[in-house]
Amino acid sequence: MSAADKTKLDSVSSGASLVHDYQFGRSTQVPGGGSLQLVGPGDTTVPVRINRVGVITGASIEVDAADGARTYDLQVWQNGASVATVTLASGTTGNSRSNINVAVAVGDLISAYLVRTAGVGASTFANEHAMVEIKF
């Protein structure tokens, strides 16, 4: 180990937290019905099962094109219910929040949805990428 690496390691506090980012996405429009479940690694809609106690601290959404006619919420779901949202305003391609504070327990299931909140019809964007940050 180099001296610089040793200095960095020594500066990490003993109570430092682990932060993990869970990735979700999809390559399709939000349909006219207004709701699209995003998929995780392996192209699956199966939720992520949490393996330790932690807190959802942030989330972000990015799409490939602005939709000037509709607005959406990225909804973070825990055990089948929405617990946090990030608004995707009309005419924008992304947004994020770092002030979420939702406790998670061992065995909780986390998933992500894009839900239309205003306007009608399918989205003009066809690629979505979301990230959910959990601090352990």
**Model pTM score:** 0.87
Give the per-residue pLDDT at 119.
97
Tell me, what amino acid is at 79? N
Query: For 79-110, how does the pLDDT look when each residue is reduced to its tens digit (9 = 90+)?
Result: 999 999 999 999 999 999 999 999 999 999 99
Half-sphere exposure at residue 34, Cβ-oriented, CA atoms within 13 angstroms: 11
Sign of the torsion angle spanned by Cα atoms 30, 94, 37, 70 = negative
- Which residues constitute the domain of residue 66? 28-135
Residue 17 counted as domain residue: no
**What is the tally of structural domains in the chain?**
1
CATH of the domain at 62: 2.60.120
Residue 14 counted as domain residue: no
Residue 71 counted as domain residue: yes
- Average pLDDT rounded to a whole number, residues 34-48: 93
Query: For 23-33, how does the pLDDT look when each residue is reduced to its tens digit (9 = 90+)?
Result: 999 999 999 99
Partners of 25 in the β-ladder: 39, 129
Residue 1 counted as domain residue: no
Residue 2 counted as domain residue: no
